[in-house]
Structure 1
Amino acid sequence: MKSLMKKVFAAAAAIATVFGLAATTVATANAADNATLTVSTADAKFARKTVNAYKMFSATVSGDGKAVSYTLTDEWKPFFKDPAASGLTDNGVTDANVNDKANDYVSKLKDDALIAFAAKASNWAQTKANNITANATATVSQNAATDGKYTATFTGLDYGYYVVAVPGATVANTNGQYAALVRVHSTTVGVDIKGALPTVVKKVNGEGATHAKIGDPLTFTLTSTIPDMSAYSTYTFNFKDTLSKGLTFNQVDSVKVGDTTLTKNTDYTVTTTNEASGETLLTVAMNEFKKKQQTNAGKTITVTYTATLNKDAVVGGHGNTNSATIQYSNNPSTGGTGESEPSKVRVFTYGFTVDKYTGDNYTDAATRLAGAKFTLAPKNGDPMSFVQVNAGSANANAVYRVAKADETGATTIITTPQSGKVDFQGLKNGEYTLTETEAPAGYNKLASAIGVKVEGQNNGTDTTNATVHITYNNDNGSDYNQTASNGVIPVRNKSGVVLPGTGGMGTIAFTVIGVLVIALGVAWTLKRKNA
């Protein structure tokens, strides 16, 4: 009899010992259920997101708080009776014993098995067909506190064992943890938000920013992670990319899951829309995403496409910014969608100004020269082609931008206007040779070409403008020892020297002398006759 009683008490203790909490006494009714659960995260992506709390087990706690007893809620009994949902594979689960079986099963879970169970529970609770309603909801704060944490607070909770999850949250790391299991058996409880929301990382030529000349092709990559879609019957997953006015979309080169290339119009579709602003909206929409890719949850998915820097590109300044997001299903219960934080890249192109003048001093009052002709070439390369954007005037710079391949109206000869100033635009970083091919009438052509170095510096996706350094030398060497203030290179022409010639006053002098000789000869002849 004593042996039997020991077994009975041992079984009772095992049932009461759930989730690592040993019951040392028989639990009594709770004095008051009025718990506060604070959920927190340092991840700004969760700001303003909804957090749901689902009570899986009710709990009673002893007066001294040392003993806890859990009772499975009616809503969660179908979960544990379905082996595929919960992982409880005991074939003997019935309505009569499901509470004990669930207690025993969960109390023995640990490490990866417990994490996997949390994911299963979260998915099951959020699956619309299961008709589970969150016992409580809260919203993550818009701004972080002084400790850098964003928080959501549940108040007035009953004691129990809760599944806490953000709708739409998915795989956070390699162990697949994206839901929290929380023991609420005291008045104040805290837990970190688990999981991650779909994100995208955008690169241009493998970087967060790059430089290019007008007409250059650029390669963009959009990289994300396939989410766990277990809670969903269908799942929306679209790449949405906005190309600035200065970029012309070419084509999507590939969409890959890991190293596997997907098929266009079967696995995904591509659409482009020309916005009124001049921007282009590129959408790469995944087809039957859950059906085809659920088994690849956690793997990377990458879109690669090309675009060309065009004539509308912003020169210097903030550059040409474009951004990408992921549109994704964020609530299996309602079928809603959300959009990730944008990932931005910038493409920069640069320029400089030539100021043609004459005189001993380079000042605003110096005489400017029209009609000087130049070519600009990459160092040791052929002259580049440009298109005239503005002819210039006495008070305005002429503007020439780099021509695209086979563009009509292109020329390699750049001519200064009355203002003497010419803007060369659409250049990438590098060394260039500026050659005067013809001087203005009455002036001597430069004896040697000018070496120019363009060095644009930027910090990727930051919002600051690029910093551009233009340096040059007057003998086309590699020692760029002069700095172009505000990107302006002064180029001086000297007027030609007046050379001496025959005729003029020399002829007059000889004529006068001749007349005098003749006059003296006549006078001498007359004097002899009179003698």
Structure 2
Amino acid sequence: MKSLMKRVFAAAAAIATVFGLAATTVATANAADNATLTVSTADAKFAGKTVNAYKMFSATVSGDGKAVSYTLTDEWKPFFEKSVGLTGVTSENVNDKANDYVSNLQGDALVAFATKASNWAQTTANNIAAGATATVSADASSGNYTATFAGLDYGYYVVAVPGATLANTSGQYATLVSVDSTNVNANIKGSLPTVDKKVQVNGNGADTADAKIGDTLTFTLTSTIPDMSAYDTYTFNFKDTLSKGLTYGDITSVTVEGVDAPLVKDTDYTVTTTPAAAGNTLLTVGMTDFKNKQQTNAGKKITVTYTATLNENAVVGGAGNVNSATIQYSNDPSSTGTGESEPDKVRVFTYGFTVDKYTGDNYNDAATRLAGAEFTLTARGDTSAIKFVQVNAGSATEDAVYRVAKAGETAGTTTTITTPANGKVVFQGLKNGEYTLTETKAPAGYNKLASAIGVKVNGQNDGTDTTNATVTITYNNNNGSNYDQTASNGVIPVQNKSGAILPGTGGMGTIAFTVIGVLVIALGVAWTLKRKNA
């Protein structure tokens, strides 16, 4: 106790940090216990969450506010006797031992103590009652999210958010705060489970990708294994909503950072797919016996990798095909309740363009449109034309629509695209890249194009919000690499000229007609001269 008193009057120890326990002394006077504790965070994920304050030590404050004495509460004595691992602790000296222990904590040791104390407080079997409870709400004046505890007794508190079972970016897990004045402020510590979703592009994770219909894409869902010490059992599920334009394929792996062997399906996790609203599909990867199997890996990354195929229902252009994932997790050690993380989204885009077949000197609305022109479309560098499925045959008032065939799709597929009466054909389901558009047959009475047309599709998007992609279609008329013309609204005008009737050698030909003409003229001249001489 004598060494403890010396620390009290040492200036450096008398002013403790918000995480440390202030030095103890015998109070010369008691202040009224009517304190307000405000805890805050800039993290919007905490909005609406419950915050609990557990009083570990009660406190009295001297009249001048310069000295504080702390007394360990009875319910926290077992924590120091059994959990902290103090030596020589008896029921008679536990208060002094606890004071002495906490006063000397700093750095990583203090962070570790906060973690242990928070888990102890939240473990139902320990019967630690929260001294006060508050709810986090937005604070318009500061822009932060705050929870306020009013009318608190003076004391040393463990402040924890049930479900916040991860260290934050600073490595902090829970808040330790000495409430020894009428108004005290502290920061909320710890972090809630989150998920990071990516689509793989050239071996790297991205928030967006472009693909053609039929392409198979690889997605990853990454989260962090929480500290589940306060829980008897722990729910931890990856939940991923695939838009109707994506067909789920298979889970290719579930891995834990630093662990060589991947987790095993139906042993370590289960996979279910169920229909969801608007034709979407809900994929759930549920962890089995998660606490017992993964508590030792708390703080490590866990990653689910799966495949999905862009299908015939894919949105072309626009806001893309949205894929949204969350983590469902246990959020209260005292119940079976669960929370759900903020969703993380990726978008897969596919694009298209339109061919407008016409004849005449001017390309405008009055120009004559041509039916019956036939085209193929080939990716630059490929030798085989792309297979399409006709979605709409078109008419005098409707465009024909063809979408890229899915992998393995054979029924109703064609490589020949034919213009309808209105002359317009829409090509859908293409990824970014260069293509060759070849006219293989001209409409009856018109000349086929002398060369193929080079087309470049360049779609750009700005991430995972709901804005539409910007698609630029450029082209040339000689299938070169210089795309010097831009398709207005994605429409490429393709002109056909009517064919001239060419001379042949199988009939009398023009020579015969010339001879006959000369003879007729000669006879006419002879007849005129004869009449004149008569």
TM-score > 0.5 by shorter chain: yes
- Report the 3-state secondary structure (helix = DSSP H, G, I; strand = E; otherwise coil) of the residue aligned with 2:378: strand
Name the structure 1 match of 2:393: 391
Matched letter for residue 380 of structure 2: K
The one-letter code matched in structure 1 to 2:366 is A
Bigger mean CA offset, 179-188 vs 71-80: 71-80
Letter aligned with residue 67 of structure 2? A
User: What is the Cα deviation at residue 290 of structure 1?
Assistant: 0.5
CA root-mean-square deviation: 2.4
CA 1:174 to 1:514, structure 2 compared with 1: closer, same or farther past 3 Å? closer
Q: Quick check: 1:27 aligned with 2:59?
A: no
Q: Letter of the 1:46 partner, please give it.
A: F
Is 1:353 paired with 2:354? yes
Whether contact under 8 Å (1:385, 1:410) holds in the other structure is: yes
Q: Give the partner amino acid of 1:358.
A: T
Aligned to 1:474: 477
Equivalence for 1:117: 113
- Is 1:498 aligned to residue 494 of structure 2? no
Is 1:315 matched up with 2:303? no
Letter in 1 for 2:219: F
Match of 1:61 in 2: 61
For residue 26 of structure 1, report the CA deviation from its aligned partner.
Answer: 3.5
Q: Note if contact 1:14-1:104 (Cα within 8 Å) is conserved in structure 2.
A: no
- For residue 70 of structure 1, what is the aligned residue in structure 2? 70
SS, match of residue 277 in structure 1? helix
Q: Secondary structure at the match of 2:252?
A: strand
Query: Is the alpha carbon distance of 1:132 and 1:22 closer, same or farther for their aligned partners in structure 2, counting shifts above 3 Å?
Result: closer
Once the two structures are TM-superposed, the CA of residue 277 in structure 1 deviates from its matched residue by 2.3
Partners of 1:29 and 1:230 in 2: how far apart?
40
DSSP 3-state at the match of 2:414: coil
- Residues 378 and 385 in structure 2, CA contact (< 8 A), matched pair in contact too: yes
Q: 1:101 aligns with which of 84, 97, 108?
A: 97
Query: Letter of the aligned partner of 1:62 in structure 2?
Result: S
Within 5 A, what are the aligned runs for 1:33-432? Answer: 33-82=33-82, 85=83, 87-90=84-87, 92-141=88-137, 143-173=138-168, 176-205=171-200, 206-258=205-257, 259-260=259-260, 261-381=262-382, 382-407=384-409, 408-432=411-435
Classify the secondary structure of the residue corresponding to 1:404. Answer: coil
Q: Which amino acid aligns with 1:189?
A: V
Aligned to 1:5: none
Q: Cα 1:198–1:20, aligned 2, differ >3 Å: closer, same or farther?
A: closer
Shift of 1:472: 0.3
Mapped contact 2:322–2:346 kept (Cα < 8 A): yes
Q: 1:274 to 1:511 in 2, by over 3 A?
A: farther
State the distance in 1 between where 2:528 and 2:479 align. Answer: 66
Q: Are the aligned partners of 1:48 and 1:139 in contact in 2 as well (CA < 8 Å)? A: yes
Deviation at 1:108, TM superposition (A): 1.6
Match among 457, 462, 475 for residue 460 of structure 2: 457
Any gaps of 5 or more consecutive residues in structure 2? 15-19
Q: 1:128 to 1:146 in 2, by over 3 A?
A: same
In the superposition, the TM-score normalised over structure 1's length comes to 0.91
SS in 2 for 1:103: helix
Letter in 2 for 1:239: F
TM-score by length of 2: 0.91
Task: Encode CA deviations 1:115-143: one digit per residue, 9 max, x unaligned.
Answer: 111111100110111122211111111x3
Which residue in the other structure is 2:17 paired with? none
**Once the 2 structures are TM-superposed, how far is the Cα of residue 390 of structure 1 from its aligned partner?**
0.2
Distance 2:498 2:189 in 1: 77
Over the matched positions of the two proteins, sequence identity in percent amounts to 73
CA distance in 1, matches of 2:408, 2:523: 73
**Structure 1 stretch displaced more, 170-179 or 378-387:** 170-179
Distance 1:517 1:111 in 2: 126
Deviation at 1:462, TM superposition (A): 2.2
What is the identity, as a one-letter code, of the residue corresponding to 1:494?
K
From the CA coordinates, give the structure whose radius of gyration is larger: 1
- Corresponding letter in the other structure for 2:91: D
User: For residues 516 and 10 of structure 1, do their structure 2 counterparts lie closer, same or farther at Cα, with a shift above 3 Å needed?
Assistant: closer
Q: Tell me the distance in 2 between the aligned counterparts of 1:470 and 1:276.
A: 34
Contact map agreement 1:174 1:298 (CA 8 A) in 2? no
Q: 1:277 to 1:511 in 2, by over 3 A?
A: same
Measure, in 1, the Cα distance between the counterparts of 2:455 and 2:267. Answer: 51
2:31–2:60 contact (8 Å) kept in structure 1: no
Q: Is the 8 A contact 2:53 2:157 kept in 1?
A: yes
Q: Distance in 2 between matches of 1:357 and 1:152?
A: 68
Residues 13 and 22 in structure 1, CA contact (< 8 A), matched pair in contact too: no
Matched-pair contact (CA < 8 Å) for 1:137–1:154 = yes
- Once the two structures are TM-superposed, the CA of residue 111 in structure 1 deviates from its matched residue by 1.2
- Code of the aligned partner of 1:406: G
Q: Which amino acid aligns with 1:268?
A: Y
- The count of aligned residue pairs is 511
